[in-house]
Structure 1
Amino acid sequence: MGSCASDVFRVLFCGEEFNWGYKFTKEALQDDTDIVVSCCPREDVGQHIGSTDLAVPLMARLDCQMLDRAPRLKAILQYGVGVEGIDIPAATQRGIWVSNIPSEGTGNALSCAEMAIYLTLACLRSAHACAESIAQRRVGVPLGRTLFGTTVLIVGFGGIAKELVPRLCPFGVRVTAVRRSSWGQPADASAEALLYDKGAWSDMHRFAAAADIIIVACSQDRTSMGFVNDGLLAACKPGVIIVNVARGGLLDYSAVRAGLESCHIGGLGLDVHWTEPFDPQDWIAEHPRVVLTPHVAGVTELSYRAMAKVVALEARRVQSGLPPTIQLAAVPSPRTEVVLEPQ
């Protein structure tokens, strides 16, 4: 028997980017007649959030002003790891659960690790110069570099790094890593054992000085914003290759541009950018030593179908009055007693 309109639980994908998430989630919940899954452009979220029970932000910011327009909202579930676009304190104050989908176990981290290797190889083999040679009917150029024999520094040691390390080692590289949290957690043991060396965030410059390739795979917050800056690049070898599959704001734009201009940066592989979508006419986008992909590192059928199943599971939990499996916001109980502060 179908549910009446007032009983329908509404899931809203906030943004039309990464649209496979919406499509696969709708497919996963197609037999749940009392759950409706919809999608709207980022600029229209405010028009739909008022009738939403579970919001899934995709490139859309959910700040306190937006949350004020969402009296029915019970939970926010980030489609992926990064929750920097969600005002978690404001959500907590309003009794709204905040959750995300960790990259490990869904194929997301694995997919991002593969993309990091792809971008690294594309930089080493001068992908743009190869395309130019094809266009000019030349053979035997450009002269490439091998991944074999290099030292690769991974910044961050979360899900992506743990998938990346065992995939890099067979190439005959020395893999090092720095992280902000402490080492030695049991879950890290298998990947950690393969590292040539490891250090703390404070060891960054020392590790960067020994690296031929730096792969950025850490989270972005106030402490990590723009950490690839003039100071870090000055510590790097001339010709260093930098690959970013995490967040665009981790690289300082001016420092990276200067590094490319001086040839101190020998190659730059970016799946994430300072603004998205990235301007194709931007100086960096047009540089011959830069390889860009459109924020698709985690966008594979493997990962997106797995993450859609997580959204379906969490939608059913929240619909039943249960909290999300992962809670990033401590919600007062009962929810009806939440007192909103004047904005």
Structure 2
Amino acid sequence: MSDRRVLITDIAWPDISIEAAVLGPAGFAVSLAPAGDEETLVREAAGADAILTCFAQVTSRVIAASDRLSVVARTGVGLDNIDVVECERRGVAVTRVPDYCVDEVATHTVALALALWRRLPQYDRALRAGEWGTRPATLPLRRLTGTTVAILGMGRIGSAVADRLRGFGLRVGEDVTDADIVCVHLPLKPDTERFVDADLLAKVRPGAVLVNTGRGAVVDVEAVIDALDSGQLSGAGLDVFPTEPLEGDHPLRERDDVILTPHVAFYSEEALVELRQRAAQSVVDHFDGSDR
């Protein structure tokens, strides 16, 4: 297998040592693209047997650049950045790592929900501004136990969130009607884009909390801002956004009733090592037939 080459399109970590430690001993030559734009990737993909991608767009042109291409491996859960239809048309396999960060994302989701429910962002900023005690802007603040949470997307992560929240005495379901907390874990597909819109938010209990650690485009951010302004939502916790990075002048950045995190719900040291090893191993498995 020494003549086989893997192109890594982009990385979100300092180097490719973990990937190389898996692929090198299996006989693969590994290269990292100098940039993640389409023109660069088309040039770098020529002659590649496999593509390993994190966030870069693996378009039909990138896929067509190598007549040797056999597999595109996603270093992550979703396949939003890969032209899966083109891969299928050309007989190119597509792999992903769907379950490496279930614990991390579920924990991050619950942390956001609890912090918002207890109005922690508002209290933190008030204390730093010299205030003390309860504030009108944070009232009423209801007891968490016995409230209702709606989980949109009851897959691996959604189910893990449900298990954690039941431990706090919450009623867990999938119906947003009169829900106190809504956690979004839907995959991004044509029928889920802007799934959480003004009509859906109108169904929740006034003063509800929204958390999205799934896909940014599943939530209509403008509808969220309107719901916060009207009081239909009392808070929102967002780890993902329709456009990333979030624009520097985005109005969400100025709000006290929102917690923003930079698409890091997946992260722990252990999760990152597991992700990188398994993504690289999926390439090895594809060529030695152990994925069949």
Q: TM-score, normalised to structure 1's length?
A: 0.76
Q: Distance in 1 between matches of 2:283 and 2:268?
A: 22
Q: Is the 8 A contact 2:96 2:279 kept in 1?
A: no
Give the counterpart of 1:242 among 210, 225, 241.
Answer: 210
Q: Distance in 1 between matches of 2:155 and 2:117?
A: 25
Q: Is the 8 A contact 2:240 2:262 kept in 1?
A: yes
Question: Judging changes above 3 Å, is the alpha-carbon distance between structure 1 residues 217 and 93 closer, same or farther for their aligned structure 2 residues?
Answer: same
Q: Distance in 1 between matches of 2:58 and 2:49?
A: 14
Query: Higher mean Cα deviation, 127-136 or 31-40?
Result: 31-40
* Matched letter for residue 106 of structure 2: A
Q: Is the 8 A contact 2:208 2:232 kept in 1?
A: yes
Q: Are 1:265 and 2:233 an aligned pair?
A: yes
Q: CA deviation at 1:86?
A: 1.7
Q: Is the 8 A contact 2:8 2:30 kept in 1?
A: no
The answer for unaligned runs of 5 or more in structure 2 is none
The answer for unaligned runs of 5 or more in structure 1 is 178-206, 326-343
Q: Are 1:158 and 2:152 an aligned pair?
A: no
Give the counterpart of 2:126 among 133, 138, 145.
Answer: 133
Q: Are 1:65 and 2:61 an aligned pair?
A: yes
Give the counterpart of 2:167 among 162, 167, 170.
Answer: 170
Q: Distance in 1 between matches of 2:28 and 2:13?
A: 22
Counterpart in the other structure of 1:114: 107
* Matched letter for residue 116 of structure 1: T
Report matched runs for 1:279-290 at 5 Å: 279-290=247-258
Q: TM-score, normalised to structure 2's length?
A: 0.88
* Matched letter for residue 49 of structure 2: D
Counterpart in the other structure of 1:10: 5
Q: Distance in 2 between matches of 1:290 and 1:248?
A: 15
Report matched runs for 1:308-323 at 5 Å: 308-320=276-288, 322=289
Question: Judging changes above 3 Å, is the alpha-carbon distance between structure 1 residues 273 and 20 closer, same or farther for their aligned structure 2 residues?
Answer: farther
Q: Are 1:87 and 2:83 an aligned pair?
A: yes
Q: In the TM superposition, what whole-angstrom CA distance separates every residue of 1:141-169 from its partner, at most 9, and x where no partner exists?
A: 45555532211110111110121122111
Query: Higher mean Cα deviation, 254-263 or 110-119?
Result: 254-263
Query: Higher mean Cα deviation, 23-32 or 286-295?
Result: 23-32
Aligned residues: 286
Q: Distance in 2 between matches of 1:21 and 1:293?
A: 24
Q: CA deviation at 1:272?
A: 0.6
Give the counterpart of 1:38 among 21, 32, 41.
Answer: 32
Q: Distance in 1 between matches of 2:251 and 2:154?
A: 31
Question: Judging changes above 3 Å, is the alpha-carbon distance between structure 1 residues 145 and 271 closer, same or farther for their aligned structure 2 residues?
Answer: farther
Question: Judging changes above 3 Å, is the alpha-carbon distance between structure 1 residues 314 and 132 closer, same or farther for their aligned structure 2 residues?
Answer: same
SS of equivalent to 1:210: coil
Q: Are 1:302 and 2:270 an aligned pair?
A: yes
Question: Judging changes above 3 Å, is the alpha-carbon distance between structure 1 residues 32 and 146 closer, same or farther for their aligned structure 2 residues?
Answer: farther
SS of equivalent to 2:176: helix
Once superposed, what is the RMSD of the aligned Cα atoms?
2.3
SS of equivalent to 1:266: strand
Counterpart in the other structure of 1:278: 246
Query: Higher mean Cα deviation, 136-145 or 74-83?
Result: 136-145
The percent identity for this pair of structures is 27
Q: Distance in 2 between matches of 1:99 and 1:15?
A: 16
